[in-house]
Amino acid sequence: MKQRMRRGTGIPGGARTGIRAAVAAGLALVTVATVSGCAFGRPRVKVPVSFPSPTYSSSYDASASSSYEPTYSPSPTQATYDPDGRSDARGSNCDFSDSLRQFTYTVSITNPSMDDSFSYDMAVNWMKAKPADGKAYGLHERSIIVGPGDTETYTAKYTVNQSSIGQFWFTCEITRAHKTRM
């Protein structure tokens, strides 16, 4: 096994380490000062303590501003509407017929607009009530057009494909009434 011995270059080992550490510290300090923006002086900006008060001309014509007319006026047909039309729909007579094995629900849709007709993409679900686990017994979908200020009423129906049905709990729910301007 060979051992190596390092011979110095005339500078004691402690001095060399100290010089290297001083150079590294100086470079680090310059880098930090440059990155943080301290290496170069920034110009100082003087902000006036008070601004001069504005001056007014005595030749101002007040009648000139009253003749201004706006160039844009929104028309009533451009009024925005909420595409969720469930607030326009009401349901009643939630029922199930044992003899027909059929769910029914009467749905009335009133168009609140006096200018526009709307198409309503409707969905009615008959949901399990006990337990209310979010499952549906049936779904009825229909699109219906309602004129301005009119009310349309229809009966949503869903027939169950089971031959015998025991006692069960259900609710009727309008789950969708997507509203589109015609």
> In 3D, which of 153, 143, 151, 152 has the Cα closest to residue 180?
143
| The pLDDT of residue 181 | 93
Q: Which residue has the tokens 């769910």?
A: 103
pTM comes to 0.55
pLDDT over threshold 50, residue 2 = no
Judge contact between 131 and 176, C-beta under 8 A.
Answer: no
Max mean pLDDT range (17-26, 38-47, 131-140): 131-140
Question: What band does 158 get if pLDDT is binned at 50, 70 and 90?
Answer: very high
> In 3D, which of 131, 126, 122, 123 has the Cα closest to residue 103?
126
CA 48 to chain centre: 45
pLDDT tens sequence across 81-92: 889 999 999 999
pLDDT over threshold 60, residue 149 = yes
Residue 177 three-state SS: strand
